[in-house]
Amino acid sequence: MLLNIVRLRYADPPTFLDTTQVIAGYSVSKSISGGFYAYPATAVGNYLFGTGTMSLGESPTFTYQPVTGQQYAENVVRPISPTVIMPLSLGGLPIDTLLRLTAQSIDGLSNVRGLGAGPSGGGSVRFYLLLHDLRQLQIQGAMTIRITSETPTPPTGKKNGGKSDSTGNGGSSAGTEHSYLVLTSTSDSNLLAIQAEVRRLLHLDPGAEEAEIVYGPYPKHPGKQIAILTRSMLAMLTQLAYEVEVPEDDIKSGRTPPTIGQVGIENRPEVVIHSSREEPASPYAAVSYNNTWFWISDRDFQSKLAFTMVQVLEALAATNHTAGAVVTIPAG
């Protein structure tokens, strides 16, 4: 994963692999020997000795298969559905980190950054203010995500035979999951003010307690829905690549563009990836690329958490799977 991010930073194509087979091979050997020597001569010398040895060897074998064709299109290029992404916050994952990684825009508030985004790196300041407010509400329990398989009632109040879907484009069938952002009741005046600001930034009705989360750049029913234009895995890794720290010589020589800056209240990338000519000591993850080491510090919890979330999202994005990996463990 880290190598793919670095390769994208230098405009090299990433490589995605599926593990198809794992063979865990190991061996253990033990030996012990001993003896007793006695010399019945005038100078009697008796000797008792013993030796022992033990060796342990492990040689696992992994078989990989490149992700190509339709599988590549669905697992890597296709955007991840908001219905898949948003429930991750219910497990305690920070919603601001989750949306910084996965959202291209929320109700028109842009998170597009990188090449062509201007010297400031692009992105809307209000996007990051929204994420900050959502995180505060999440910490205080004043916001949650509701998942249901019931077809939403059209905002116009007219029945349409259950054909409305989460994107407002029609065609939803019974059993399709729908996600809602719920602003829970609270008597705390500070939290009430933050909830009001969230409604304003998301263009929700002033008294709205919940809003359906749909995919797209803008909601079909403003005031009732929240439109999230989500990213694909490729777009997510590309965004992280723009923030990688690279040697200044590589920028001056034109091998890679300058690292983009932060926007608004943000003061660091979600995943801080350092670079150095020397191999780092005890990193969380490290790869060598073109005589340069790129690494994530083991003391940077925020980067480690975000990097783990990227790996979880990769697994969730895999809607098209090959046959599961076969694990072979010798016994006896």
Express each pLDDT in 242-254 by its tens digit. Answer: 999 999 999 999 9
Q: What is the DSSP letter of 76?
A: I
**From residue 220, how far is each of 80, 85, 92, 215, 229 by CA, in Å?**
20, 20, 30, 10, 13
Tell me the per-residue pLDDT of 198-219, one tens digit each, with 9 for 90 and over: 999 999 999 899 999 999 999 9
Which residues, 6+ apart, have CB-to-CB distance to 203 below 8 Å? 107, 219, 222, 223
Averaged pLDDT, 159-167: 43
Q: What is the pLDDT of residue 56?
A: 78
Confidence of residue 266 (pLDDT cuts 50, 70, 90): confident
Instruction: Find where tokens 């602003």 sit.
Output: 183
Least confident piece of the model among 96-100, 111-115, 147-151: 111-115
Indicate whether 164 pLDDT > 50: no
Between 2-9 and 233-242, two packed helices, what is the crossing angle to 10 degrees?
70
Averaged pLDDT, 271-294: 95
Q: What is d(CA 169, CA 307) in angstroms, rounded to the nearest whole number?
A: 34
Q: What is the DSSP string of 132-176?
A: HHHHHHHHTT-EEEEEE-SPPPPTTS---SS---TTSSS---TT-
Q: What is the pLDDT of residue 23?
A: 80
Q: Hey, which of 20-24, 146-150, 238-242 has the most confident mean pLDDT?
A: 238-242
**Residues 118, 5, 116: CA angle, nearest 5 degrees:** 15
Instruction: Find where tokens 């809003």 sit.
Output: 211
Indicate whether 325 pLDDT > 80: no
Average pLDDT of the chain to the nearest whole number: 83
Q: Coil, strand or helix: which one is 309?
A: helix
Indicate whether 19 pLDDT > 50: yes
Tell me the per-residue pLDDT of 27-81, one tens digit each, with 9 for 90 and over: 777 777 777 666 655 455 566 667 778 777 777 787 878 888 888 888 899 999 9
Confidence of residue 327 (pLDDT cuts 50, 70, 90): low
Confidence of residue 97 (pLDDT cuts 50, 70, 90): very high
Neighbour tally for 125: CB within 10 Å: 14
Indicate whether 157 pLDDT > 70: no
Q: What is the pLDDT of residue 235?
A: 94
**N-term to C-term CA, the chain:** 36
Nearest to 227 by CA among 76, 77, 79: 79
Least confident piece of the model among 64-68, 236-240, 248-252, 291-295: 64-68
**From residue 243, how far is each of 29, 112, 121, 131, 239 by CA, in Å?**
50, 13, 10, 19, 7
Q: What is d(CA 217, CA 107) in angstroms, rounded to the nearest whole number?
A: 6
Q: pTM for the complete prediction?
A: 0.76
Confidence of residue 161 (pLDDT cuts 50, 70, 90): very low
Indicate whether 132 pLDDT > 90: yes
Indicate whether 324 pLDDT > 70: no
Q: What is the DSSP letter of 43?
A: S
Instruction: Find where tokens 């929320």 sit.
Output: 106
Q: What is d(CA 62, CA 327) in angstroms, rounded to the nearest whole number?
A: 9
- What percent of the chain has pLDDT above 90? 55
- So where are the chain's domains? 1-23+61-78+232-325, 82-150+176-231
